[in-house]
Copies of this chain bind each other. A is one copy, B any other.
Amino acid sequence: MKIGEFSKKSGCSIQTIRYYEREGLLLNPNRSEGNFRLYDSKALKQLEFVKHCRSLDISLNDIKRLIELKNTPEESCSSVNALIDQQLALVNKRMKELRALKAELQQMASACGSDNTIEACGIIKTLDS
């Protein structure tokens, strides 16, 4: 299939597919006579792997590492574990930050009942302090 169909099947935009190829996350596909990219179901699986990783917010660099690791199936998977643990730590950190952030925003929202002037607005006062 050509890139248009590949894009629809995978749910990735055409530009993103070409970008992933440039970045080495997808193998260089075969080309048609007229230089159009040609994909098969194997390529689709590869792209789905990448998409799944991205949905977990794993960076393109880490995905590249995972792909390399996949190509050495006989080795220990401790690096894979480490990568996921690291990702989990990142997520926990961000969640903590977001919780604090949410608390402050909520407090600010309640600091301004509704219809003040900007001068009297509790939100601006909070931000100013």
List residues of chain A with CB under 8 Å of any chain B CB: 45, 49, 52-53, 55-57, 66, 69-70, 72-78, 80-81, 84-85, 87-88, 91-92, 94-95, 98-99, 101-102, 104-106, 108-109, 112, 114-121, 123-124, 127-128
C-alpha gap A64/B76 in the complex (Å)? 51
What is the minimal beta-carbon distance from A106 to any residue of chain B, in angstroms? 7
Q: Are A91 and B84 in contact (CB under 8 A)?
A: no
A-B contact pairs, 14 of them (CB 8 A): A55-B101, A56-B104, A57-B101, A76-B117, A76-B118, A77-B112, A77-B116, A77-B121, A78-B114, A80-B123, A91-B98, A91-B101, A92-B102, A95-B102
Most buried by B among A52, A84, A98: A84
Residue among B49, B92, B106, B121 making CB contact with A88, cutoff 8 Å: B106
The interface residues of chain B lying within 8 Å CB-to-CB of A77 are: 112, 115-118, 120-121, 123-124
Q: Known contacts A92-B102, A102-B92, A104-B56; decide if A123 and B81 are in contact (CB<8 Å).
A: yes
